[in-house]
Amino acid sequence: MRSEVTALTVRELASDDLDAVAGIEQASNPNPWSRSLFEGELRMSPSERHWIVGLVDDAVVGFAGAMFVGEDVHVMNVAVDPAVRGRGYGRALLAELLMRCVAQGGRQATLEVRRGNMAAIALYRHFRLGPVGIRSRYYPDGEDALILWAHDIDSADYAAVLLRLGGRSGEAGD
């Protein structure tokens, strides 16, 4: 599995990526973000938002994005093309996103995840994101969301976790 992840190149989201990102989002979520929402994210200041894409052979295979609220990093979206899931790309993208957010001053990370999305919950456990509450009927279809948090993501201990999970210390591709 690790050898497949090394083929992943990570870089900042660009406007040329929006069609691919919107397609992955459409295939991944029952209530997908629209292309125009992603366009709006690109217009946000880098001090407020951070978005990355993962590429294999120059094709976008996944993306991840976060919003800054003070020192808190709110992971808004992580998705991988269904055709290439299970290869560690989501893990590598989230690790890279969090490393870049720490470099921008992030100290805690949070996100909401569908209560029934066991694959995502398992992934987030690797990142020491633990449940702290529930947002009842959070999603448009009425499903609850678990609220997950990880603290001290700026520590040396957490940096080692991120490197182990696939982060690359801010370098675009290895």
Q: In what order do the strands lie in the sheet with 59-69?
A: 9-12, 49-56, 59-69, 72-80, 108-114, 145-150, 130-135
Q: Is residue 172 part of a domain?
A: no
What is the tens place of the pLDDT at every residue in 129-169? 999 999 999 999 999 999 999 999 999 999 999 999 986 65
Q: Is residue 71 part of a domain?
A: yes
Q: Given 25, 124, 143, 171, which residue is catalytic?
A: 124
Per-residue pLDDT, 46:
86
Q: How many domains does the chain have?
A: 1
Q: Which parts of the chain register pLDDT below 50?
A: 1-4, 170-174
Number of C-beta neighbours around residue 15 at 10 A: 10
Q: Is residue 111 part of a domain?
A: yes
Q: Is residue 98 part of a domain?
A: yes
Q: Is residue 170 part of a domain?
A: no
Per-residue pLDDT, 161:
95
Q: Is residue 33 part of a domain?
A: yes
Per-residue pLDDT, 8:
92
Per-residue pLDDT, 170:
44
The question of whether 71 is a catalytic residue gets the answer no
Please identify which residue in the block is written with the tokens 């990102």.
21
- Specify the CATH number for the domain of residue 70: 3.40.630.30
Q: How far apart (Å, rounded) are the C-alpha atoms in residues 66 and 163?
A: 19
Q: Is residue 10 part of a domain?
A: yes
Domain of 15 in residue numbering reads as: 2-165
The question of whether 124 is a catalytic residue gets the answer yes
Q: Is residue 66 part of a domain?
A: yes
Per-residue pLDDT, 7:
84
Per-residue pLDDT, 173:
38
Q: Given 112, 138, 143, 171, which residue is catalytic?
A: 112
